[in-house]
Structure 1
Amino acid sequence: MHHRRPGRESNPLRRDADRTRARLRAAFMVACLLAVICGVAVGRSAWTHAGRAAAEMARHRYSVTAVTVGETTYRAGPGPSTRPVPVAPATWRDTSHRVHTETVPVPAATRNGETVRLWVDDQGNATTAPPGTAHIALNAISLGTGAAAGIALAAGAAVHARLRIVDARSGRAWASEWASVEPRWSGRLRPGQGSGDD
């Protein structure tokens, strides 16, 4: 009685191409797992660094009450496809009681003489608010997701290219083997074979 050995010889129909395909699929799964791990690491690092930067920025920025001294106008947005930003000249005092007057962003339809909240730096100049937790989290998630997707896509492209090579070689080998087996199997004469040839 014939006993098949376990391992590579356990399935006589399993070819080298099949084993290569299985290894490539396993490698892709490992690459996806590594992509997730790298994405989490990148996101966590971005969260930590951005949180520290925001905390440092918050130590040098504070909110003051400003009074508008003119009518609201509109300034072009920071990008070509962004909406215009409502601005108005406003005046305020910093912590040293110095008076500052600048044109600053204000809510739409703000009238002359109204009060607005404004973020200023250590010198009392108008600036932006320090990044909030939601902004930091969104940035960290975006960076982590981008890193994971980039790794997974690169691995997928490499595996796909290798699978195409394996499939092409397997197809050529199959065609070659079939060309030698098919005439005997079907009883069809091969080119150059006479009716009395075996």
Structure 2
Amino acid sequence: MDHRRPGDPANPLRRDADRARTRLRATFVLACLLAAVCGAAVGRAAWGAAERAADETARHRHSVTAVTVGEATYRDGPGENTRSLPVAPATWNYPAHRAHTETVPVPGSTRSGDAVRLWVDDHGSPAAEPPGTADIALNAVGLGTGAWAVLVLAAGAAVYARLWSVDRHSAQEWEREWEQVEPHWSGRLRPGQGSSED
């Protein structure tokens, strides 16, 4: 039979620190859910922006067939500690009336006279391939995951700091309460306490 009166706490052994810990853990779970929503929103926005940029880039990129006019050689990559890239001199026409001859990246086994696919800009100069769906998706997932991770780490740090403060305060409360209870409970005298029996 339940003898608790209305207004009595649900569990008299449950302390304010316990309730604070429960609230903080619930806050962290909620923060993780909100971070997931924010991460999805960031990823979706990044996907849309990257798709629009890719469409704009693709309008100014053209795939042409170039013919190599020399053997493939190797040159250093664009940065330090990058592997050498095979290149060969090649010629192509773009626009149709304008001929170009430049050294361009090619497969390693390319020989003189081989046809290679090449991306060029509106002026016919070599250009990077427009980003594909896989590149766009990878970028969006990376940004969304990064945003989620930053928010979760920030929430985790804030909750951890607050939990540390609650635990420290709780330990101090226990210490104060124990100092009051322990002499009566154990029957031992503390320094400075005299015997009541003289």
Q: Normalised by the size of structure 1, how large is the TM-score?
A: 0.94
Matches within 5 A, 1:72-151: 72-151=72-151
Q: Match of 2:51?
A: 51
Q: Match of 2:184?
A: 184
**Identical columns (%):** 66
SS at match of 1:161: helix
> Hey, what's the Cα distance between the residues in 2 that align with 1:187 and 1:4?
35
Q: Match of 1:166?
A: 166
RMSD: 1.5
Q: Match of 2:35?
A: 35
Please tell me the residue identity of whatever aligns with 1:118. L
Please tell me the residue identity of whatever aligns with 2:4. H
Shift of 1:157: 0.8
> Hey, what's the Cα distance between the residues in 2 that align with 1:4 and 1:163?
32
Moved more, 62-71 or 37-46: 62-71
Q: Match of 1:4?
A: 5
Moved more, 159-168 or 186-195: 186-195
The total of aligned residue pairs comes to 196
For the 8 Å contact 1:68–1:115, the answer to whether it is kept is yes
Instruction: Write the deviation string for residues 83-117 of structure 1: whole angstroms up to 9, x where unpaired.
Output: 22111111100123210011111001211111100
Shift of 1:3: 2.2
1:66 aligns with 2:66: yes
> Hey, what's the Cα distance between the residues in 2 that align with 1:32 and 1:11?
29
Please tell me the residue identity of whatever aligns with 1:101. T
Moved more, 93-102 or 134-143: 93-102
Q: Extract structure 1 runs of 4+ deviating beyond 4 A.
A: none
> Hey, what's the Cα distance between the residues in 1 that align with 2:114 and 2:40?
46
> Hey, what's the Cα distance between the residues in 2 that align with 1:102 and 1:2?
92
SS at match of 1:74: strand
For the 8 Å contact 1:72–1:108, the answer to whether it is kept is yes
> Hey, what's the Cα distance between the residues in 2 that align with 1:110 and 1:160?
59
SS at match of 2:25: helix
SS at match of 2:13: coil
Shift of 1:23: 1.1
Unaligned runs of 5+ in 2: none
Shift of 1:190: 1.7
Please tell me the residue identity of whatever aligns with 2:19. R
Q: Normalised by the size of structure 2, how large is the TM-score?
A: 0.94
1:14 aligns with 2:21: no
Shift of 1:2: 4.2
Please tell me the residue identity of whatever aligns with 1:167. D
Unaligned runs of 5+ in 1: none
SS at match of 1:136: helix
> Hey, what's the Cα distance between the residues in 2 that align with 1:94 and 1:45?
35
SS at match of 1:126: coil
> Hey, what's the Cα distance between the residues in 1 that align with 2:73 and 2:196?
101
Shift of 1:76: 1.8
